[in-house]
Structures are given as structure tokens and as C-alpha cells.
Amino acid sequence: METEEQTPSAFLDIATNLLAILLILTLFALAAPRQFTEGASQLPARPSTGLRFVAPQRERFPPFSRFYVVLADRVTVWDQEAVVAALAAAPHTHSGTTRQGRFDWQPEWLVTRDIDGFQLRFWFDRDALLSQSTPWGVEQTERLVDELAQDAARNRIAPVFIVYPDGLETFVPIYERLQARGQRFRWFTQRPDEPLLIGRHVAQFTHYSLYW
């Protein structure tokens, strides 16, 4: 039960809180127009006459990607279409397997951006890759480089090499041949314990990551 001694104190609390809220609102009101008109990134540029670095331009319509997995003495094309087929056959199963490994399909539950957004993780089965391919050599490198040139000319497909630590030695001659031919390609190192992650989502357009 409230006493007479407590009432002034309660009023004082309410008044203090109201004052604090008013103070915060005033601060926001002062800060908001500045933020709106100038933007968070509108810091004045500092004078600079030093070395220039021209950032690479993001390509408006990049080529299509085909992934190759590089292990020690092995180069295998990733059967991406097998994942597409598995998902088409069982659309409500969010994980599955192909002859090259297992995948985890992560569609966003709410479509807040584009309708085709998704993320996919793929764990390669190393033993399966080794058993399904033959040892790699100079001849295979030459043949691959020729095939890649044809893919690029016919369907504008460019290779993406996923290179495991033990595959670096195998990848070096491929890299050199592609460089010498002026063939377009990308390559990434891949930790053995981590899955390949591909997808389409908004964060790709807020970082400098989408350069082909």
C-alpha cells in the first residue's frame, strides 16, 4: 500500500524518467536530420596525392561458372547438376547426397530480397573423388585447357578451381597454362574440413566479392 512519504518520491522518479526520455528524443531529433542529409559515409575526403589504385570493376553480366576440385594428382569437375536434379526430385528435403558428397540446401524462409536467393553447402567425399578419377598429368592439363577454351567460346562458361592444400602442386601447371593462354578463370583455396559454400544473397552486393 502506498504511503504519504512514498508519493513525492514516485512523482520525482516519473519526472526524472520523463526528463531523460525528452533528453534522448532531443538528441535523436538533432542527430537524425544530419544523418539523413549527409549519410553515414559522407565523411569529407582527405586530400591525397599519393599512389593511385584503381579498383577492379564489377562485371555487369559475368560468365557462367563451372567448378573443378583439385586434390593431389586429381582434378575433378563438380557435378553441380546432380545437386539440381536431387533437389528437383525431392524439393522439401533440405539435405541429400550425390556420388561426390553430401549437400545442405538452405533457402531463406522469408523472401525479403530476390525470389531466387539460396545458400548451398557441399561436403566433398574425398575417397569418392579419388576412386572416380584417374591420376592427373601433363596430357590431361593440355586437354583441359583446350576444353575450357571451347566452353568459353560456346557457352561463356569459365572455370572456378577449388584447390585443396594437397592439390596446390597439381594446380600450378594448370594455372600457368591458363595464364599463358589468357584464359579467364578463378581459383580459391579450400580447407579440407570445410564445405564449399555457394549461393545468391544480398550480402554479395554489399562487399567487393563479386568480381569475375
Partner 1 sequence: MDPRCLGTPLMPRLATLGLLMVLGGVLWGLARAPDRSAALAELGDSVEARQSIAAWESLWSELAERGVAALNPATNDASRRAAGDTVFMRYRNLWGPIDDDARLAFQLAALSGDPARKLALIEPLTRSENPLIRFRAHLELARLQRRLLDFEAARMAARAALAVPDLPERLSADAWFILADSAWEQDRLDEAEIALNAAIAADPGFWDARRLRLEVLARQLARPRQTGAVCLDRTRRMIEDLGALPTLAEDQTQFRDLADRFARQDTMPHVALALIVGLGYRWSGDTERARVILENAERLHGQLPHGCERLILKRISGLLEPASTPGQPP
DSSP tag of 33: H
Phi-psi region of 65 (alpha: psi -120 to 50; beta: other; left: phi over 0): beta
Q: Is 33 in the site for partner 1 (CB under 8 A)?
A: no
Pick from 11, 12, 114, 147: which binds partner 1 (CB under 8 A)?
114
Grid cell, residue 174, equals 594448370
Rule CB under 8 A: choose which of 29, 30, 55, 180 binds partner 1: 55
**Contact between 89 and partner 1 per CB under 8 A:** no
Q: Does 111 bind partner 1 (CB under 8 A)?
A: yes
Give the residue from 175, 168, 119, 122 showing the smallest Cα distance to 145.
175
Of 5-13, 49-57, 94-102, 137-145, which segment contacts partner 1 by CB under 8 A? 49-57
The answer to whether residue 43 forms part of the interface with partner 1 (CB under 8 A) is: yes
CB-nearer residue toward partner 1: 107 or 195 = 107
By the rule CB under 8 A, 183 interacts with partner 1: no
Quote the least distance from Cβ 190 to partner 1, whole Å.
17
Residue type, 10: A
Q: How far apart are CB 50 and partner 1 at their closest, in Å?
A: 9
When asked if residue 118 is in the footprint of partner 1 (CB under 8 A), the reply is yes
> 10: alpha, beta or left, given left = phi > 0 and alpha = psi -120 to 50?
alpha
Instruction: Check binding of 87 to partner 1 (CB under 8 A).
Output: yes
Minimum distance from CB of 82 to partner 1 (Å)?
Answer: 11
Quick one: CA torsion of 143, 82, 67, 137, rounded to 10 degrees?
-30
Task: Quote the CA–CA distance of 119 and 112 in Å, as a whole number.
Answer: 15
Contact between 129 and 161 under an 8 Å Cβ cutoff? The reply is: no
Residue of 5, 116, 127, 139 that binds partner 1 (CB under 8 A): 116
Say how far apart CA 93 and CA 105 lie, in whole Å. 8
For partner 1, how many residues bind (rule: CB under 8 A)? 51
Asked whether 141 and 177 are in contact (CB, 8 A), the reply is yes
Our finding on whether 15 is near partner 1 (CB under 8 A) is no
| CA distance between the termini of the chain | 72
Could you list the residues that contact partner 1 (CB under 8 A)?
37-49, 52, 54-55, 58, 60-67, 80-81, 83-84, 87-88, 91, 107, 111-118, 120, 155-157, 198, 200, 202, 205-206, 210
